[in-house]
């Protein structure tokens, strides 16, 4: 039987079993792992370790094949895989089929990827990022709402701009945006004249007006859906989608110290946001909700419940990570890499979000700039393209 032995050092007898000498650094590390985790069988007084019988190397992978006197149990294989992936900082697959097969994939987790590398995808997709396995995309027609959390300066706004740019590039006639940029409009104001951008709100009063417009638009859609007997936009001939991007959503949280009026405005914003989260998906409204501190009063229940994609950049604590993505891990993302995020759907994946700056955005979508009239906020104003 394979046993866990408390003999930490390699005996000279066991050394014989390591078999042929090889200069491979990976093999050396695998051997050390066998020793440290006591992966051997006892043969009289000796410990018999797996013996390397073949080593294949290519530019993409290294495959090490070991002979073992007995099969290894599943738990040992998983431990080996986990320890080796972390030690080598590479993707490692460990399996047992007559031989113990250890495959080390050489592609590294990228620490930077540029938007220019993002491949084309059809449909309402946006790139989330790249990792060792390749690119990961989000499909807005499958999962309408998403939350993006993370400590400031790690990449939330850049990710929203990536989404906006990709959607406009691929759906110039069908993507519409309402952007609530509560950093006073600093990040998104320059895109206000894009044909696809219906409105940019840069303070809570403008936000409330913009959200009321979305609510009104939803109501019209709802009536039309009822008339036509439709239940979800994805099953209709309607090709437009309305994206509501909210950057720094914590600014919409009512606080104790605020004046009564301000609190009321913010409470109304929250209530419309909940309504969008609950009903908007089926009607073609997609919510992207970005916030630094994902405490439960900022990330209100119905938004969180209805956002089946949760993204988080680095966060300060495991508690914050749990609130943001229902899982620990955002607190251990590297502190020296911008744009590194966890994406959580049914499982959690780590990705490097593509980067693009304003010049690049403008090069790609600046051509959609049109002359717009400033619309004075009033309750009856209608400046949306109607569905049709």
Residues that bind ligand ADP (CB under 6 A): 112, 150, 152-158, 338-339, 353, 355
* Sequence-distant (≥ 6) Cβ neighbours of residue 132 within 8 angstroms: 90, 91, 105, 107, 108, 109
155 annotated to bind ligand: yes
Nearer to ligand ADP, 158 or 303 (CB): 158
Q: Three-state secondary structure along 151-195?
A: CCCCCHHHHHHHHHHHHHHHCCCCEEEEEEECCCCCCCHHHCCEC
279 touches 254 (CB < 8 A): no
10 binds, among Mg ion, ligand ADP, none (CB under 5 to 8 A by kind): none
The values of phi and psi at residue 26, to 5°, are: -65, -45
# of chain residues touching Mg ion (CB under 5 A): 2
**Binding flags for Mg ion, 155-194, as an x/- string (CB under 5 A):** -xx-------------------------------------
150 is known to lie in a ligand binding site: yes
Task: Tell me the helices (H) and strands (E) count for the chain, helix number first.
Answer: 10, 17
In 9-71, beta strands by DSSP E: 40-43, 46-48, 51-57, 61-67
Q: Which does residue 155 bind out of ligand ADP, Mg ion, none, counting CB within 5 to 8 angstroms by kind? A: ligand ADP
The answer to whether residue 202 forms part of the interface with Mg ion (CB under 5 A) is no
Q: Is 366 annotated as a binding residue?
A: no
**Between 139 and 153, CB nearer to ligand ADP:** 153
Residue whose CB is less far from ligand ADP, 90 or 151: 151
Q: What is the rounded distance in angstroms from the CA atom of residue 8 to the CA atom of residue 271? A: 61
Q: Are 118 and 136 within 8 A, CB to CB?
A: no
Stretch that binds Mg ion, among 149-157, 212-220, 338-346, 355-363 (CB under 5 A): 149-157
345 annotated among ligand-binding-site residues: no
User: Least separation, in Å, of the C-beta of 327 and ligand ADP?
Assistant: 20
Residue 142 interacting partner from Mg ion, ligand ADP, none (CB closer than 5 to 8 Å by kind) = none
Helix, strand, or coil (residue 200) = strand
- Where along the sequence are the contacts to Mg ion (CB under 5 A)? 156-157
């Amino acid at each position: 039987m394979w046993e866990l032995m408390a003999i930490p050092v390699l005996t000279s007898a066991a050394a014989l079993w390591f078999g042929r000498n090889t200069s491979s650094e990976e093999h050396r590390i695998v051997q050390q792992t066998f020793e440290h985790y006591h992966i051997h069988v006892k043969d009289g007084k000796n410990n018999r370790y797996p013996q390397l019988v073949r080593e294949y190397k290519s530019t993409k992978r290294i495959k090490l094949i070991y002979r073992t006197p007995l099969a290894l149990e599943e738990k040992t294989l998983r431990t080996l895989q986990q320890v080796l992936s972390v030690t080598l900082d590479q993707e490692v697959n460990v399996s047992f089929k007559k031989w113990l097969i250890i495959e080390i994939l050489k592609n590294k987790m990228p620490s930077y990827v540029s938007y220019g590398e993002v491949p084309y995808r059809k449909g309402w997709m946006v790139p989330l990022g790249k990792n060792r396995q390749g690119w990961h995309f989000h499909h807005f027609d499958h999962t309408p709402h998403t939350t993006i959390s993370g400590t400031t300066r790690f990449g939330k706004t850049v990710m929203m701009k990536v989404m906006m740019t990709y959607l406009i590039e691929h759906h110039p006639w069908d993507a519409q945006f309402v952007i609530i940029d509560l950093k006073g409009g600093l990040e998104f104001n320059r895109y206000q004249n894009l044909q696809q951008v219906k409105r940019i709100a840069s303070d809570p009063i403008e936000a409330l007006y913009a959200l009321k417009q979305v609510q009104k638009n939803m109501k019209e859609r709802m009536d039309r859906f009822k008339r036509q007997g439709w239940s979800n936009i994805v099953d209709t001939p309607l090709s437009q989608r309305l994206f509501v991007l909210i950057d720094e959503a914590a600014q919409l949280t009512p606080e104790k110290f605020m004046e009564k009026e301000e609190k009321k405005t913010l409470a109304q914003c929250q209530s419309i946001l909940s309504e969008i989260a609950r009903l908007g998906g089926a009607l073609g409204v997609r919510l992207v909700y970005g916030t630094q501190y994902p405490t439960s009063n900022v990330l209100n229940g119905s938004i969180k419940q209805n956002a089946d994609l949760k993204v988080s950049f680095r966060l300060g604590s495991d508690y914050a990570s749990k609130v943001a993505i229902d899982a620990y891990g955002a607190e251990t993302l590297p502190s020296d890499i911008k744009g590194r995020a966890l994406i959580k759907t049914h499982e959690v994946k780590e990705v490097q979000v593509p980067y693009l700056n304003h010049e690049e955005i403008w090069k790609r979508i600046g051509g959609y700039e049109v002359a717009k009239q400033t619309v004075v906020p009033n309750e009856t104003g209608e400046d949306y393209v109607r569905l049709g």
